[in-house]
Amino acid sequence: MNRRRKSRIKTISYALATAALMTIASGCTDKIIEEQQTAQIEAGVIKKLRVSNPSGDLTIVGSDQADKIEAVAKIKRTENVPSEEFKMAFTERGEEAEFVNSLSSSSFGINVLHQMDITLTVPRNMELDIVDESGNITVSGITGPVVINDQSGDMELKDIEGEVQVTDESGEIKFEKVKGNITLIDDSGNIELANNQGNVNIEDSSGEIDISNHSGMIVVVDDSGNVKIDQVKGNVTVEDESGDLRIEQIEGDVRIESDSSGNVTIERVSGTVHNNSKK
C-alpha cells in the first residue's frame, strides 16, 4: 500500500493519568477531571502541517531530534462534560498533514469547565499553517514559513528562521529572534518586536507598537495607539492616525507619510528624514 497516497487518521491514545479535584461553583461542589491525550504520526515526507484549533492554548515547538509529529493534550473538564467531546486527530496526504482539535469553542452551560490545551512537537523545518479561534499561541524553534490566522488570544513567536504572516483580531503579539520577513495585519492589541531580522510590514487598527533592535526595513500603518521604534538598521516608514510617535537610533532613512494627532519625536537618524506630518 502506498503510504504517500493514502489518507490516514490516527486515533488518540487516551489519558495516561486522571486526577480528580474539587471546586466550588455557585454553592455547588463540582468535580474537575484532569486528563491527557496523545496522538502522533511519522514525519516521513511531510513538509507542511495545517493546524485547526477552535479553542484552548496552542504551543508548537520545533525540534532537530523530532522524526514524528506528536500532539499532547492536557484536558480539564467538569463531570457533566463527557470525555467524548475531547477529540483530536491527524490526517496525512502526501507531503501535507492536518491536525484538528475537534473541541468546540461554544459553551456547554453555566459553571461548566471544558478546556483542552495542545502542545505539538514537530521537526524544525516544518512549514506551518495555523487557524485558531481562541486561546494563546506560542510557536518556537521553526525554520520553515509560518502562517497564522487568529481570532483572539495572545501570541508569541520566537526563534523562527523563515517568513511569518499573521492575521489577528485581538490579543497581544510578540515577535522575538525571528530571522525572516514579517507581515502582520492586526485589529487590536499591543505589538512588540525585539531582536528580529528581516523586512517588517504592519497594518494595525489599535494598540501600542514597540519595535527595538531590528535589522531590516520597517513599514507601519497605524490607526491608533502609540508607536515607538528604536535601534533599527534599515529604512523606516510610518503612516499614523493618532497616538504619539517616537523614532530614534535609526541607521537609514525615516519617512513619516502622515501623523494626524499626537506628539512626534525623531532623533539620531543617520539617513534622510522626510516628515510629512502636520506637526
CB-based contacts of 24, cutoff 8 Å, min separation 6:
30
Taking the model in full, what pTM does it have? 0.86
Same-domain pairing of 188 and 240: yes
Band of pLDDT at residue 106, cut at 50, 70 and 90: low
pLDDT value, residue 113: 73
For 3-21, what is the mean pLDDT? 38
Q: What is the pLDDT of residues 204-244, one digit of tens each?
A: 999 999 999 999 999 999 999 999 999 999 999 999 888 99
User: What is residue 13's predicted lDDT score, i.e. its pLDDT?
Assistant: 39
Q: Is residue 124 part of a domain?
A: yes
- Is residue 123 within 8 Å of 141, Cβ to Cβ? no
Establish if 48 belongs to a structural domain. yes
Measured CA to CA in angstroms, residue 14 lies from 67, 100, 126, 140 at distances of 22, 16, 26, 27
CB 184 within 8 A of CB 201: yes
Q: Which domain holds residue 74?
A: 39-134
pLDDT, one tens digit per residue, over 22-51 is 333 333 456 888 999 999 999 999 999 999
Phi-psi region of 260 (alpha: psi -120 to 50; beta: other; left: phi over 0): alpha
Residue 161 maps to a domain: no
Indicate if the pLDDT at residue 10 is higher than 70: no
Work out how many domains the chain is built from and give that number.
2
* CA neighbor of 242 nearest in space, from 202, 278, 275, 210: 278
- What's residue 121's pLDDT? 98
Q: Work out the pLDDT band at 109, boundaries 50, 70, 90.
A: low
pLDDT of the residue at 7: 42
Q: How far apart are CA 55 and CA 133, in angstroms?
A: 6
The answer to the question of residue 158 being in a domain is no
Is residue 110 in some structural domain?
yes
How far apart are the C-alpha atoms of 58 and 116, rounded to whole Å?
9
Q: Around 35, how many Cα atoms within 13 Å sit in the side-chain half-sphere?
A: 24
**pLDDT band at 17; cut points 50, 70, 90:** very low
Q: Is position 72 within any domain?
A: yes
Mean pLDDT of the chain: 87
C-alpha cell at 148: 497564522
Q: Which of 134, 157, 191 is the last residue of a domain?
A: 134
The answer to whether 186 and 149 have CB atoms below 8 angstroms apart is no
- Asked if residue 46 and residue 130 are part of one domain, the reply reads yes
